[in-house]
Chains A and B, each alone.
Chain A
Amino acid sequence: DTGVSQNPRHKITKRGQNVTFRCDPISEHNRLYWYRQTLGQGPEFLTYFQNEAQLEKSRLLSDRFSAERPKGSFSTLEIQRTEQGDSAMYLCASSLIDRNNGYTFGSGTRLTVV
């Protein structure tokens, strides 16, 4: 078990382009979360999945954002028509249902929109 894996580690894109990030959770974890973190701030919740079902979405997740978790394994987060305000660290975390042991985070994908 190598923990939660996120790719790419860094992404620089031009404003208006679409980007997609991937998260591979710990294999036995059935819950998967996406958070966004800007400089000097704590992570902010975006959305989470239980298996393949997307159960909750934050109002931060505008129409330009979409997340999927096909087959309940890896997940992708896509941002369409990127804006400079989307520049942030995008963090993925996973956990087991009904296990009171918190999340395990990945190292994140740092997005810079220029």
Chain B
Amino acid sequence: QKEVEQDPGPLSVPEGAIVSLNCTYSNSAFQYFMWYRQYSRKGPELLMYTYSSGNKEDGRFTAQVDKSSKYISLFIRDSQPSDSATYLCAMSARSGNQFYFGTGTSLTVIP
């Protein structure tokens, strides 16, 4: 079983929709969680970084962590065509150490 599971999609939504992206994990020691956005043939770009459980909001993006269920989510409100990319979740047991990544979910926002 992989450390981190993420549905690869693809996910296609109309512009303005609310997008929900999710990951599950098996290692209860994970306590640092990140979401990255990756455009084709580019390096991942950090979107959100959260520690432990709870919610974090940044503009149109909200990250949620439920450690009891080993489940994390990223919500994108008012989705835009420029949000079309692959979204990767990543997590770690300790700050600064290696992160374990999901396979990424491919998102297309249709104008």
Q: Which residues of A contact B (CB under 8 A)?
A: 4, 6, 31, 33, 40-45, 48, 56, 58, 91, 95, 97-98, 100-108, 110
Across-interface contacts of B101 in A (CB, < 8 A): 42-44
Across-interface contacts of B42 in A (CB, < 8 A): 107-108
B96 touches A91 (CB 8 A): no
Docked pose: A102 CA to B8 CA in angstroms: 23
Nearest B residue to A31, CB-CB: B96
Contact of B96 among A40, A45, A95, A106 (CB under 8 A): A95
Across-interface contacts of B32 in A (CB, < 8 A): 100
Nearest A residue to B49, CB-CB: A102
Contact of A91 among B34, B44, B98 (CB under 8 A): B44
Docked pose: A43 CA to B46 CA in angstroms: 13
Q: Does B90 contact A (CB under 8 A)?
A: yes
Contact of B103 among A42, A95, A105 (CB under 8 A): A42
The number of residues on chain B lying at the interface, defined by a beta carbon within 8 Å of a beta carbon of chain A, is: 26
Across-interface contacts of B71 in A (CB, < 8 A): none
Across-interface contacts of A102 in B (CB, < 8 A): 34, 46, 49
Docked pose: A104 CA to B8 CA in angstroms: 23
B73 to chain A, nearest CB (A): 17
Contacts A100-B49, A102-B34, A102-B49 given; indicate if A45 touches B43 (C-beta within 8 A): no
Across-interface contacts of B8 in A (CB, < 8 A): 40
Q: Does B97 contact A (CB under 8 A)?
A: yes
Docked pose: A76 CA to B92 CA in angstroms: 25
B49 to chain A, nearest CB (A): 4
A43 touches B96 (CB 8 A): no
A105 touches B45 (CB 8 A): yes
For chain B residues 86-109, which have a beta carbon within 8 Å of chain A?
A: 88, 90, 95-104
Docked pose: A106 CA to B45 CA in angstroms: 9
A to B CB contacts below 8 Å, 26 in the list: A6-B43, A40-B8, A42-B88, A42-B101, A42-B102, A42-B103, A42-B104, A43-B88, A43-B90, A43-B101, A45-B98, A45-B99, A45-B100, A91-B44, A95-B96, A98-B95, A100-B49, A100-B95, A101-B46, A103-B34, A105-B36, A105-B44, A105-B45, A106-B43, A107-B43, A108-B42
